[in-house]
Amino acid sequence: MQFKTSQPLGRVLKTHGRQGELIISCEQGFPENFKKMESLFIEINEQVVPFFLEHVIEKTPTTAIIKLEDVDNLEEAGGLTGLTWYLPAGTMEQEETGAPFSFRQLEGYRVIDQQDQEIGVVEGYQEIPSNPLLEVRHGDDLVHIPVNEETLYYIDPEKKVIKNEIPEGLLDL
């Protein structure tokens, strides 16, 4: 059976946790309704195979943590890493915005740390090669918090919240 899919959207980057979750990339950014999608396709041995999504957590505008039905452990998930994934045909055409994502769009968002403690509000962004920084108002101080795919847990545009790992001692400087 041949399925109708979109163009390749990204890759399965790596496993996440021990319950079979995966981190995927999407070069163009995810469609707005991606969290509500029922399924996606992964190319395995030159065949596109449908998988139902149990849940999706957008980590950054170009990465997400997904859980697929019937992929329940690290070994099964590991067999999918490095593979290309697709959405059902027609999904992306509905979402074309044309504007690339920039961390500057996060001004006004609240930042919380890895323990869900509120840190402050984003007032700006500094594009420093290999070390981009969010400028966050923390009390009376403006702190510079590193932000990248390793430190960022998720961005919630509806609640205007960013969950980002804050290095120990950073707020004490």
CA atoms of 79 and 106, how far apart (whole Å): 35
Using one digit for the tens of pLDDT, what is the confidence trace for 40-59? Answer: 889 998 888 889 999 999 88
CA atoms of 32 and 26, how far apart (whole Å): 13
Using one digit for the tens of pLDDT, what is the confidence trace for 10-49? Answer: 899 999 988 999 999 987 788 777 888 888 889 998 888 8
CA atoms of 151 and 160, how far apart (whole Å): 18
Sort residue 80 into left (φ over 0), alpha (ψ -120 to 50) or beta: alpha
CA atoms of 162 and 63, how far apart (whole Å): 14
Tell me the whole-structure pTM to 2 decimals. Answer: 0.54
Determine, yes or no, domain membership for 2.
Answer: no
Q: 125 and 156: one domain?
A: yes
Using one digit for the tens of pLDDT, what is the confidence trace for 89-130? Answer: 655 544 444 445 667 778 899 999 988 899 999 999 887 777
**Structure tokens of 154?**
């998720």
The CATH number covering residue 54 comes to: 2.40.30.60
The separation between the first and the last C-alpha atoms of the chain, rounded to the nearest angstrom, is 60
Question: Domain ends where: 29, 60, 93?
Answer: 93
Question: Domain ends where: 48, 72, 93?
Answer: 93
Boundaries of domain holding 107: 103-172
Could you tell me which of 142, 128, 156, 163 has the C-alpha nearest to residue 35? Answer: 156
